Structure 1
Amino acid sequence: MKPVVRVSILRCAPEHFAELRQMAAEADSVLRPGIEAMDGLLSFYFGADEATSSLTNVSLWTSLEAAKQLDTFQPMLDLGKPFIAKGATFERPIMNYATLWQLKGSASSGEAAA
């Protein structure tokens, strides 16, 4: 079975970006233990793009069911509220993509996978 790619995007006004990026960095210690313990997690990335005033988390899961665990992960739901209070908006629905094809770059294994 090919992995599911989950993408969640938060957007904000440029003047709030630095503060929200800092809040996201601080969320690591709250979110990491629970996410790492979830069944089916392959990888998880939280990123920031100042040019678009957006933050994203992108994760790779063994199945759609596994990816959807984040839909009800209470620490993440709770942490979203302060972001909204600062004017952030979350793109909804959260996107869960079926993998059509994938590559593994030289930094991971040096081989391409189909």
Structure 2
Amino acid sequence: MPIIRVSVIRCEPQHFAEIKKMMADSLAVLEPGIRAMRGLIHFYAGEDEAVSSLVNVSLWRTLEDAKQLDTFQPMLDLGKAFVGKGATFERPVMNYASQWEFGPERSSPD
């Protein structure tokens, strides 16, 4: 079962549009390096304007794999830029051990 890594960014409502754009722009900087990391299963970035929050959620094969992001310099550099624009990060970043999972059931072809 995968490790679920969750990083939460919060900001004041008046900063949300700018932080949201920064998150969208970060894909070009982060994707090549993260995609090449050992153990990556999937990576998501999301936003919730109602609570002025954005998140990165990623799935990894092991805790060691997930913790590669702790020292990934492009992400650390972007974190400083987000903070400079008024964002705050929940710390520590959470790395959850999976308890259970499910997905949509697929019917077998007849």
The bucket for the TM-score relative to the shorter chain is over 0.9
> Per the alignment, in what secondary structure is the counterpart of residue 38 of structure 2?
coil
User: SS of the residue aligned with 2:33?
Assistant: helix
Deviation per residue, 1:9-67 (Å, 9 max, x gap):
00000000000000110010000000000000000000111011001000000000000
2:101: which partner in 1? 102
Match of 1:81 in 2: 80
Partner SS for 1:26: helix
Q: Secondary structure at the match of 1:82?
A: helix
Q: Which letter does structure 2 place at the counterpart of 1:45?
A: Y
Q: Aligned runs of 1:43-58 on 2, under 5 Å?
A: 43-58=42-57
1:19 corresponds to: 18
TM-score norm. by structure 1 comes to 0.91
Count matched residues.
Answer: 107
Query: For residue 64 of structure 2, what is the amino acid of its counterpart?
Result: E
> How far off its partner does 1:102 sit?
0.4
For 1:79, the aligned partner's letter is L
Q: Which has the higher contact order (CA 8 A, sep 6+)?
A: 2
Identity of paired residues, percent? 63
Structure 2 residue 29 is the aligned partner of structure 1 residue 7: no
Determine if the alignment matches structure 1 residue 31 to structure 2 residue 25: no
* Letter aligned with residue 90 of structure 1: F
Structure 1 residue 105 displacement after superposition: 2.4
Q: CA RMSD in A?
A: 1.1
Tell me the secondary structure at the aligned position of residue 100 of structure 2: coil
Return structure 1 stretches of 4+ with deviation > 6 angstroms: none
Partner of 1:93: 92
Q: TM-score, normalised by structure 2?
A: 0.94
Q: Which amino acid aligns with 1:62?
A: R
Gaps (5+ residues) in structure 1?
none
